[in-house]
Every structure is written in structure tokens, then in C-alpha cells.
Amino acid sequence: MGTNPVWQTLAAWGSLVRVGPVTNLNTAKFTVIAYDPTHFTTAQNDANVILPQISNINIEPLTGNVSFAWSAPAGVTDPGGLSDVVQRSTTMNSDWAAVPGAVITITNGTVSFTDPTPPAEKAFYRVVRP
């Protein structure tokens, strides 16, 4: 990984892109969801996904709110007991931070997250499960 972001489609790359360097490629797993001002969202990869698996990705056209969901850990029914943390980055370069004003609810074993004030240009989200 370099310090300069490069934005291209997979078709423009022409092949898979290695993200690294990493010491052991067999243990490198991550999931990223991204969006930009045109409200394009990436589909979550289904290979080598670290739990929790993110679903129901949505960007509200009128407000710009970003939302998604994932399964709550077994037995957790209250957001106050949730150890999962949602973080946001605009560069994916050591600027991951908690999302101010985030709304988190748990209903029937599903955690729902909403970012009511996403950055205007772009953002990346991750769910950290300790």
C-alpha cells in the first residue's frame, strides 16, 4: 500500500489487486464498504470475510445517511452491551475513528447502524469486533 489513494474500477485494474504488504497472506482478511458522492456503494466480498458479515447497505438519497446491519453477538440485545465498534475513515490511512452521532439499535438479533452525517466526499466503514 502506498500513501496515494488510487480510485479505479476492477475492470480498469484488469486483475485482482493485492493489498499489503502483509507477512502472512493466508491470515490477511478484511471487508470494506465504501461510498462516494454519487452514492455508489461497493458490494461486500464473500471470500475471506471477517465476522461480522455486513448486510442491508443503504444510502438514503434525500439525506445522505449511510446505514447497514450485521448479526449481534449471541445474547446481546441492548446496544449498551454491544462490544462491536463501528469506525469511519476518509483515507483508510490510520484515520479510523468512532462515528460521531451514530445511531445503533438491536432488533431480533440484528444490529442496525446509521451515520446521520457522513462526510460529503467519501467514507469507508468497518465494524471492529474484539
Q: What percent of the chain has pLDDT over 70?
A: 61
Mean pLDDT of 57-71: 87
Residue 39 domain-assigned (yes or no)? yes
Quote the pTM value.
0.64
At residue 33, what are phi and psi to the nearest 5 degrees? -120, 130
Number of domains in the chain: 1
Higher model confidence: residue 99 or residue 128?
Answer: 99
Answer yes or no: is pLDDT of 60 > 90: no
Domain assignment of residue 80, given as a range: 10-128
The helix or strand, by DSSP H or E, that contains position 70, with its residue range, turns out to be strand 66-71
Residue 95 domain-assigned (yes or no)? yes
Residue 86 domain-assigned (yes or no)? yes
Mean pLDDT of 6-22: 58
What does the mean pLDDT of the chain come to?
75
What CATH number has the domain bearing residue 25? 2.60.40
Residue 49 domain-assigned (yes or no)? yes
